[in-house]
Chains A and B, each alone.
Chain A
């Protein structure tokens, strides 16, 4: 019984939150890795693209809520998500046309574009806060839990409860669907293959008749979609606050680099590595250990390796360790 309780406690506090957070990071890292491999720079504006897309979704959700439209047990935000995506796509295409294209035509080196994207970040960041404010915004509605801790305890008779939030379920399902669609698109469709060809060898792609501007446009559209979905899922799961998206940039980049920059499979793996490291290192293991250890060995402290305030440090350390021992990332990406 103690053993079962330990597993449930672990699932409740580590596994499920880790998988949900990992899915969100993976979606974010996929966007970063796509921009990196096709537009050839690290897009620092990705976090704030997520914020912008999520903001549009939040506003649409409020509008729908005021009209009394809802999805029953599911959050209304899912209904607003396509509008958020449309807004984000329009936004990044506008940014590309007015900002990035100027440098692309001049064949500016990637480092220039990185700094340019940093400028774009600040603008997005300001605009987001200007429109929706800097505070926490709640836009979740519908059924809170798929399995709530109390019901679980009643049904199983265990001392530990297992709760599975609707948002976590939605996050995981959405991530699987989106990733499957993305891989199908990149590997099976003509447009997807042309993106890979362009990423591999721009000149030869041009000589093969692939239109670079079209490849860039499709890439931005996919990136904006991924960013909005990741942003909305994160906002639903935690809460929407513009600044958290800027902070998310670090774990997202850590995920992309740990997995291997430019490798979509790596971005996903990296997302989960970072998420689980963060969750396991900042989790207080006392509860699980109390169930598993004989009474004489029970820990007296919380057995928390790092306070949650330091969770961002975890991404950094994982990043360092991976880069020291495997500079190309876990999967074969570009050498850093």
Chain B
């Protein structure tokens, strides 16, 4: 039997507006508890998949410590984004734990993790296209009840182009500028850790270099960054820690430099 709540391919937008419709996300309700020790953020031995589907991650471990940039690289379909989403609680975890700042948050929903201090920038649909840049940032700060004008000023300092375009609809910006809006939106909560899912996807090499520079600047403000990247070589150059995933499992782990120097990694993923 097909999905009883599906629309069997209906494309008539006059009766329903499926654009921007949410995906099924775990409901909030779980609790967190203290689990001291270990790195600042760690997805430890994660075995996970979507809904009732098969396991995609197999005993995969991803971690980032204070003041670090950790990068997840790997071939297509290796489960890089999936690993990131698992850390953020968007998957069904079957085995393993996620710990943030000495707290076990495995059972928390994504929205609860945001209020715990995780900032997440999805790969696609990561901005409110119909709203202005400034409104995007305001929505990023939605959970904050205090005055966030100085955070907004910091974001504008970090991304000067956003200040220039702050009254323009975010959907009208270029790809690189959109990514800056997306990162800026995530920074508005003053997260304790920032997770970026392929921030340079679909932008030109020049814009990519600029985005990497900006990401390093964000890291210098003291926020640990966990990032998935297609451009493995460049990403590993700025990484303090690198994870090479293959078929949902850790294949190689080390500092960025170690991985770049590793002949095996070079041969299989960096093109010699």
A residues with CB within 8 A of B? 36-37, 40-42, 103, 106-114, 190, 193-194, 196-197, 199-210, 212, 257, 261-262, 334-336
Contact = CB atoms under 8 A, between A and B. Distances in A.
23 contacts: A40-B16, A107-B24, A110-B16, A110-B21, A113-B16, A114-B16, A193-B131, A197-B128, A197-B131, A200-B20, A202-B21, A202-B22, A204-B125, A204-B128, A205-B139, A206-B111, A207-B120, A208-B143, A212-B22, A262-B17, A334-B17, A334-B19, A336-B14
- From DSSP, what is the main secondary structure of chain B's interface residues? loop
A36 B21 CA distance: 12
B169 to A, nearest CB: 10
Contacts of A108: 5
B194 to A, nearest CB: 13
Contacts, number: 124
B122 A204 contact: yes
Contacts of A205: 22, 128, 139
A111 B15 contact: yes
- From DSSP, what is the main secondary structure of chain A's interface residues? helix
B231 to A, nearest CB: 24
Given A106-B5, A206-B110, A212-B22, A193 B16 contact: no
A203 B16 CA distance: 18
B149 to A, nearest CB: 14
A103 B3 CA distance: 13
A240 to B, nearest CB: 29
Given A196-B130, A197-B139, 12 more contacts: A110-B16, A110-B18, A112-B5, A112-B7, A190-B142, A201-B128, A203-B23, A204-B126, A208-B114, A209-B115, A261-B13, A334-B17
The 3 closest A-B pairs by CB, nearest first: A110-B16, A202-B22, A209-B143
B153 interface: no
B15 A114 contact: yes
A42 B131 contact: no
B13 A199 contact: no
A217 to B, nearest CB: 16
Nearest to B109: A206
Nearest to A206: B111
Given A41-B16, A41-B17, A42-B15, A203 B122 contact: yes
Instruction: With a 10 A CB-CB cut-off, give which of B18, B20, B185 has the most chain A CB atoms.
Output: B20
A203 B123 CA distance: 12
Given A103-B5, A197-B139, A208-B140, A41 B128 contact: no
Interface string B1-41: 00001110010111111111111110000000000000000
Given A109-B5, A197-B139, A203-B122, A37 B17 contact: yes
